[in-house]
Structure 1
Amino acid sequence: MQVVQGVLATAEETCGAEELESGLERALAILQGNPELRGQFENHMIALVDSPREGVVEIVSFLMHVLRWEAVRGAVEERIRYPRGDVSNLRLHEAMLDSFSDSWRDRDLFTRFSGA
């Protein structure tokens, strides 16, 4: 989760997904390399879903486009059905949910998915 915190810090300091991608790749490798910790990682991702911080949409979207964890998807869908707090976060949740699709519209923001 230190890698995720690093990505969030980078997002606060920079503009654009390209600066985040190397940290996102590291986070993905850690998540994939430690399947026994998936429950803890899922809980952390779900906690991020409720955070309006800069970079959260990119983190959740990038990681879940690959991992497609149903617990995280369910949490995002719940936030869309039953918005909590600031309803302007609805658009952020919709963007996160879109990343679970093969036709994710923001995939080209990341080299991994753009075919470049």
Structure 2
Amino acid sequence: PQSKAARISGRLLLCGAILLGLALLAARYSPLTLLAALAALLLHEGLVWYGALEERRSSPFFVHPPHGLKVLAVLPGSPAQELGILPGEVLLKVNGEALTGEAQQLHEAL
């Protein structure tokens, strides 16, 4: 979520800067008002469309891969945090035992 928020906020900042520039130009030359309004609409729709495209291209975060188990969260102060395990990582083996995708198997291996 943090990296996605950073990407989106950067894009919004860029679009805001473009719109501010167009608005300042439209204040001096009124025929640019229509261009500024169209740009606001098109930039907004472009951001929505690009965000949806980006979501479709990426793999779902909350789905386990075919082999192993994906770490969805790490509790603060837990042994997993002490080991340096991060959310999004995939555990393939625990104590030498291969994980096939069932959480029960992880508990047994631990």
User: Which structure is higher in helix share?
Assistant: 1
Pick the structure with more strand per residue. Answer: 2
TM-score bucket of the superposed structures, by smaller chain: under 0.3
Work out which of the two has the higher radius of gyration on C-alpha atoms and give 1 or 2: 2
Q: Which has the higher contact order (CA 8 A, sep 6+)?
A: 1
Q: What TM-score results when the alignment is normalised by the length of structure 1?
A: 0.23
